[in-house]
Amino acid sequence: LNIHIDMDSPRVSRTEGEALFLAYGGTTPYLEHVNSMLLAIHQGLQDLPGFIAVLREHDLLESFVADIELEDGSQNRLFGFHTINEDKLLQLPGDVLESLNRAGHLQSIYMVMASLSNFRGLIERKQRAVNANA
């Protein structure tokens, strides 16, 4: 994985922020961390088509719409997203669950389900931004 840096970007500085390179060569722990995160994202994107195919095979994908009303009365709708159909997951036989687990998909399925708990925090952040701009 190669990381490219736009040296003309206003976000790049030689005097402020996190150092990317050590004074006498090599990369800093910060850049190593960024590189590992980008590698994980890249690997995830490579694995995504197979993961989606497995979800479809077992009819585990479910579309959802979130309608959110903020304190100012504005209506917000999130659509075009999918999640895991928990009822269908609970109905899967043990051998299918074992297969999903061995392929590394079961953990991903539970992470998708757990990620929905982040919606409350995202809504609260949006509400604070609206309040700050009011």
**Whole-model pTM?**
0.69
Domain assignments of the chain as residue spans, ordered by start: 1-57, 59-133
- Chain segment 87-119, per-residue pLDDT in tens: 999 999 999 999 999 999 999 999 999 998 888
Tokens of 6: 């736009």
- Chain segment 60-93, per-residue pLDDT in tens: 999 989 898 888 888 989 899 899 999 999 999 9
What does the pLDDT read at residue 73?
87
Angstrom distance (rounded) from CA 111 to CA 53:
17
Average pLDDT of the residues in 22-26: 91
Q: What is the DSSP string of 36-85?
A: HHHHHHHHHHHHHHHHHHHHHHTT-EEEEEEEEE-TT--EEEEEEEEEE-
What does the pLDDT read at residue 70?
87
CA-wise closest residue to 97 among 112, 111, 109: 109
